[in-house]
Amino acid sequence: MDDDYRLTKSCESFGNISEKKKVLMNEIKSAHPRAKDIHKIVSENASEFKSKFLKVYCYRCAYCGTSIRINVKSQFEIDHFIPKTSKRFRSETDAGFIGNLVLACHTCNHNKSNFELSESSQEILNPDLEKIKKIYYRDNMFYIRVSQDASQEAIDFYKKLELGRETCRIDYLLLSMMELRDKIENNDSLKCQLNEKIDFLCMKRNIMT
């Protein structure tokens, strides 16, 4: 299995998300020099900066890994990793800095809601960083699971996001088959078989969501 549970074997790595955010922030400052709440700028679906924020995350949910190949742009939302309701912030504007913003699919964002992690767990479970890949993994049946040495808070976060849900598994399988189909050349029969399986999984997914 890939070291990052959110990624299929052939897809692009997230890379250095923090550095990519810095680059995007410079672009936002250039266009909106007085802006303080970056969330407002990148969460508007029609905004060019939402598209650029999606690109920072390779068009994938930072929590479950579902892709824009499966969900439309409007189904991706901008989550406050530390909730805007946290006592750590004096206002919602303070919570809207780009380092606190995470790309999330509609399901993960709404499941997470205002769930707030302790400061120590934030360093481990922040999806922009590396440590989260050691806490959650894909099992042999492609479900997202929690490592045995995970803390109770990491388990609670997993349950809150419902990362073990069937759609996370289906999305992983769909993306894997799409990537395989894209690589196939001169074999229309195999492509046709894959398309049938992709259509079936898409239908199953749509029934479940």
- Give the global pTM: 0.94
**SS3 for 73?**
helix
Alpha-helix residue ranges (DSSP H) falling in the chain: 17-31, 38-43, 48-56, 92-95, 106-112, 119-125, 132-135, 152-161, 166-183, 188-208
- Average pLDDT of adjacent 10-residue blocks, the chain of 209 residues: 84 95 98 96 96 98 97 97 96 96 98 97 97 97 97 98 97 96 91 94 90
C-alpha 194/C-alpha 173 separation (Å) is: 11
Could you tell me how many helices (H) and strands (E) the chain has, helices first?
10, 4
Contact 122, 82 (CB under 8 A): yes
Q: Report the chain's C-alpha Rg in angstroms.
A: 18
Quote the pLDDT of residue 208.
86
Q: Which two tokens stand for residue 147?
A: 């490592």
Contact 26, 19 (CB under 8 A): no
> Rounded to 10 degrees, what is the CA torsion of 177, 178, 184, 186?
110
Residue 1: the pLDDT is: 43
